[in-house]
Amino acid sequence: MVKRSVIPFGPQHPVLPEPIHLDLVVEDERIVEAIPSIGFVHRGLESLIEKRDFNQMTYVVERTCGICSFQHGMGYCETVEKIFDVEIPRRAKFLRTIWAEMSRMHSHLLWAGLLADAFGYENLFYQCWRIREKVLDLQEMTSGGRVIFSVNKVGGVIKDMDADMLKAILETIKDVEKELKVIKKTFFDDYSVKSRLKGVGILTPEQINALGAVGPMARASGVENDMRRLGYAAYSEIDFEPVVSNDCDCYARCYVRIMEIFQSIDIIRQAIAKIPDESDLSVPIKGNPNGEAFVRLEQPRGEAFYYVKANGKPNLQRMRVRTPTFANVLALCEMLKNTEVADVGLLVVTIDPCISCTER
């Protein structure tokens, strides 16, 4: 009988941008079980409802994550708007959609760079992050912030994009698309990349559903769940189909995310073509929220879940954010079974973990 050992992985590890700990139970080099531990960076953001009113919470919630910041702000505002039962102006919906897709582009490019770095392809890593800079520049031009936008408010948005900005976005995403086509070939066709990703880290659709995995993780295993189909923001007026693969491995997760960058470019083009010429960016919100609402939306890493309960006072009774990584960690542990220790770093990266976001 092979002797079992436990190898601690993380919370400090070269491949981890944020802390998560895994106890890897191994037989020789093969992993038989992985037990996760989180909680190294818990911030207690949800408890700030006691000290900040529902409007101020918009800016707290968008600090849940440095990558999906905009989408957290939007998710929270959509939830409170649902309690108020208000519909925001159409232009605000399209602006939210454009910013949301820019966030997806820069998040996926960040991830693609980290993946390239994890399998030792540093030049590819540099290229991904160089392209990402162009998206960050667009975010800075339109919102004033490269990471934290602070453009959402309950009832709409507080900043507009003028015609010059929209033109600059179209020109930049054309460049990004051209450069992305070049690196796409490397991600999809390079022998050494394929040898690290193909057939590694298999997750079946049954495992995805049982463990509650979401986003590109699920879509790479043939589970078509894309919350943009719920039609929030302006997605009900945008033509798109979720990117799905049935290969269920790391290569499929890479395929889904790279193709979603192209999809985001397409969605931004559609949104700019359809954005109405209106001056109203928000609707007036009177009083305080009273009621409760559950809202889901599709962040770069997958379905995010928001719950707000209020009783007519400025401070909420409960605000809850369930981030995509929180839903994907158990699937990661299942994926690690029967893999080699040498693949762990790469496999952790393929779930696109955002631990600070998870711990809120």
Residues in the site for another protein, rule: CB under 8 A? Answer: 35, 37-40, 42, 44, 46-47, 50, 209-212, 223-225, 227-231, 235-241, 292, 294, 296, 303, 305, 307, 309, 317-318, 320, 322, 326-327, 329-330, 359
Asked if the bond preceding 11 is cis, omega within 30° of 0, the reply is: yes
- 74 CB-side CA count, 13 A: 27
In 3D space, the residue among 26, 35, 24, 27 whose CA is nearest the CA of residue 2 turns out to be: 27
CB of 317 to another protein, least distance (A): 5
What's the DSSP call for residue 340? B
For another protein, which is the closer residue by CB, 293 or 347? 293
For another protein, which is the closer residue by CB, 110 or 335? 335
CB of 17 to another protein, least distance (A): 19
Helix ranges, the chain (H) = 57-61, 69-84, 90-118, 122-143, 163-189, 191-197, 205-211, 216-219, 250-274, 324-336, 344-350, 355-359
For another protein, which is the closer residue by CB, 109 or 304? 304
CB of 345 to another protein, least distance (A): 22
CB of 243 to another protein, least distance (A): 14
For another protein, which is the closer residue by CB, 186 or 207? 207
CB of 68 to another protein, least distance (A): 17
Please give the Cα distance from 112 to 40 (Å, whole number). Answer: 25
Counting every residue, how long is the chain?
A: 360
CB of 208 to another protein, least distance (A): 9
Q: Which two tokens stand for residue 235?
A: 């997605």
Measured at the CA of 300, the angle between CA 295 and CA 305, to 5 degrees, comes to 20
Contact between 294 and 21 under an 8 Å Cβ cutoff? The reply is no
For another protein, which is the closer residue by CB, 55 or 317? 317
What's the DSSP call for residue 303? E
CB of 334 to another protein, least distance (A): 9
For another protein, which is the closer residue by CB, 49 or 112? 49
Contact between 154 and 54 under an 8 Å Cβ cutoff? The reply is yes
Q: Which two tokens stand for residue 103?
A: 């966030």
Beta strands at 152-153 and 30-37: parallel, antiparallel or unpaired: unpaired
CB of 343 to another protein, least distance (A): 23
For another protein, which is the closer residue by CB, 143 or 225? 225
In 3D space, the residue among 321, 293, 320 whose CA is nearest the CA of residue 86 turns out to be: 293
For another protein, which is the closer residue by CB, 236 or 290? 236
Q: Which two tokens stand for residue 292?
A: 């409760």
For another protein, which is the closer residue by CB, 128 or 272? 272
- The residue to which tokens 């298999």 are assigned: 202
The residues that bridge with 282 in the sheet, in sequence order, are 156
CB of 225 to another protein, least distance (A): 5
Q: Which two tokens stand for residue 194?
A: 């394929």
